[in-house]
Structure 1
Amino acid sequence: MSGTVTARTYMTTGPEPELWYRDLISCLQATFGSLVARAGADPLSVLGAGWRFLHLPGEVTSEEFSYPCPADGPDGPDLGAALAPHHALHSRWWQPADEDDLWREIRETLAEDRPVVAAVDNFHLPFRPAYGDVHAAHLVVVYGLDEVRGVVHVSDAMPPAFRGPVPIEAFQRSWGSANPTDVQDAFFSDARIGRRCLDVRLDSPPPPLTPELLGGFLRCDVEKFTTATAARTGLAGFDAFAAELVDRCRAGDASALSELYAFGWGMQAQASLHGELLRCCGRDWCDPELAGAGRAVETVAHTWTGLRITGAHGLDDPRAASADIARHAHLLRGTYARAVDAVGAAAARL
């Protein structure tokens, strides 16, 4: 592939994007992981280094890539910084500036040898299982554009995994979709796609991960879990989130459960990656306490499944589901507390 601009063909140089995936992550972590790997860094070390709880009431979107992202960055919300708080990973949302030339920014970015993360609607993408059946907001990596052949080159690590050309017409329908309300997907439809794209950059290569460096990350994360703030962060933030969730269910508010499913996926994915990183480092560094802390954090990730799936099945009758929601939230709170203790103990020895 060539990065030169010829015959209206724009392709990134080097190998095609890596299909980076883990079972509990969403398209958000998969696309960022692919671009982090392309920048020459280990996605697990970057995306798995941080572990936090943050809930922003009223800001959960009905998209697979919904993630709590404070608007306190110099350029507004920065998903990259939220996903990797210990690394120089940054991102910004943008949309085409010219309705008469929708591809201009993508051409320019690809000509600079930088792939683009694009929001899409699965309903219009021929390689997605939901094609022609279910509307749902999703993210993919665009790494090539051939306007002569009429194709966009797309990489998507989410199962069934795809990397290759897609007809421009199909991609444009997906990229510009209204993503209307779909009774088959109450969680990721009803959110206009709006031709949104993400510019993702790893500003500087991360240093090799050492016990000393990881120990500093962990101590910072434990402090955020155990320090009460005005925002819904840490263990106190989880308590406030869970109490409100149960109250809304008892009041018959089904939207609380659809928000739970989208919001919980981000928290579940983060815990899964953090736990895997600690477990792998514990193995490689012959540190059983660190490996055990990793397993404790992975337990948090798996316990999110019970809460999210109970919420999904309770959409039709939130009041009836409220007792089970309260029970699963209580179980999850316990796994968080034990994992924070285990991570703190491991960090003290690093």
Structure 2
Amino acid sequence: MSEEVTARTSMITGPAPELWYRDLISCLQATFGTVLARAGADPLAVLGAGWRFLHLPGDVRSEEFYYPCPPDASGDTGLGAALAPHHALRARWWQPADEDDVWAEMRAALAGDRLVIAAVDNFHLPFRPAYGDVHAAHLVVVYGLDEVRGVVYVSDAMPPAFRGAVPVEAFLRSWGSANPTDVQDAFFSDSRIARRCLDVTLDAPAPPLTPELLGGFLRTDVEDFTTAASARTGLAGYDAFAAELLDRCRAGDAGALRELYPFGWGMQAQASLHGELLRRCGHEWGDPALAGAGRAVESVAHAWTGLRITGAHGLGDARAAAADIAHHATALRGAYARAVDAVGGAAARL
């Protein structure tokens, strides 16, 4: 066997990666969590440390992994900083530089023991329930490549969880899919995959989470909610988002509801992880106020479900859905206000 063949049969990054998952997260948090776990960090402590609100009109994309990044954030810091504002998390999108060798960057990453997060179309992946049926933009972790056997090793924590080999041909179709408009999925189709990948790194080790450190995180987050840096952030940002959403629904704009589902998932996931972290720390540190604040933040995550699902069911008639949208948006606003107060109270004790 030649040296080249030998090298290409050994492109597997250590042990199979952890399948990191929580019920209310999307593939974005699940894949980042897998990479963080491989780096020796606690995914919940990193991804759950921050809690913020940001809505950017016109920015929402029809991808399960959409997440708003501050307009002034630059390339390698934007998405990582948005997901983990209190940690040195860096995330860089890239695409193959050479169409004649689309595996070059992937080989280099795997040879360096680095996991790769790849954008894919569920329609072409044999292990996804949507295989051969529904087009939808998704993320998976690539942890191995064997060009001799013709397989890519993929890890996907989103149910039904999968970790194993996928034929190269199927992966290439999924990784390079046009992801055309699909009437069965109005929220995650119609978004070209274009062989996009994410390189995610934690530039500095996550420090041990202490009451003092978490207290500082919480005070910063409460300030972000109550002292808006712009009209799109914090509680003021939520109010602007909800008002625009309702106005567009009343005008019969189905696009508002089409954007609500992917946008809301990011906000829901972050609230869910933050609430879980506070509950865990409150239990471990014997701090009932902190645990209660965690439950309050988790109530925000669950309130997002009502708004997102109502929007999904109202897609066919946005005007008719306006009253129910108003009800759920008001309930969510109340959940945010109570949670911000609870987190502020807990922070003052830490």
TM-score w.r.t. structure 2 length?
0.97
- 1:300: Cα distance to partner? 0.2
Residue in 1 aligned with 2:119?
A: 119
Check the 8 A contact 2:13/2:110 in 1, yes or no: no
Matches of 1:77 and 1:252, distance apart in 2:
37
Counterpart AA for 1:304 = W
Residue in 2 aligned with 1:338?
A: 338
- 1:113: Cα distance to partner? 0.6
Counterpart AA for 1:281 = C
Matches within 5 A, 1:82-101: 82-101=82-101
Matches of 2:10 and 2:244, distance apart in 1:
49
Matches of 1:269 and 1:236, distance apart in 2:
20
Residue in 1 aligned with 2:11?
A: 11
Check the 8 A contact 2:76/2:90 in 1, yes or no: no
Residue in 2 aligned with 1:217?
A: 217
Check the 8 A contact 2:13/2:111 in 1, yes or no: no
Matches of 1:177 and 1:10, distance apart in 2:
27
Check the 8 A contact 1:12/1:114 in 2, yes or no: no
Matches of 1:265 and 1:239, distance apart in 2:
18
Q: Secondary structure at the match of 2:75?
A: coil
Matches of 2:131 and 2:322, distance apart in 1:
34
Matches within 5 A, 1:1-350: 6-75=6-75, 78-350=78-350
Q: Deviations over 1:208-253 (max 9, x none)?
A: 1000000000000000000023340000000000000000000000
Counterpart AA for 2:168 = I
Matches of 1:203 and 1:284, distance apart in 2:
28
Q: Secondary structure at the match of 1:166?
A: strand
Matches of 2:64 and 2:54, distance apart in 1:
17
Matches of 2:190 and 2:77, distance apart in 1:
22
Q: Deviations over 1:68-89 (max 9, x none)?
A: 0124234366211110000011
TM-score w.r.t. structure 1 length?
0.97
Q: Deviations over 1:126-149 (max 9, x none)?
A: 000000000000000001000000
- 1:7: Cα distance to partner? 4.2
Q: Which moved more, 1:9-18 or 1:134-143?
A: 9-18
Matches of 2:143 and 2:77, distance apart in 1:
24
Root-mean-square deviation over aligned CA pairs: 1.2
Matches of 1:296 and 1:263, distance apart in 2:
21
Give the % identical residues: 82
Matches of 1:192 and 1:254, distance apart in 2:
21
Counterpart AA for 2:83 = L
Q: Deviations over 1:99-157 (max 9, x none)?
A: 10000000011111101000000000000000000000000000100000000000000
> What 5-or-longer segments of structure 1 have no aligned partner?
none
Matches of 1:112 and 1:279, distance apart in 2:
37
- 1:13: Cα distance to partner? 3.8
Change in Cα spacing, 1:39 to 1:151, as seen in structure 2 (3 Å) is same
Counterpart AA for 1:84 = A
Matches of 1:78 and 1:229, distance apart in 2:
17
Q: Secondary structure at the match of 1:152?
A: strand
Counterpart AA for 1:307 = L
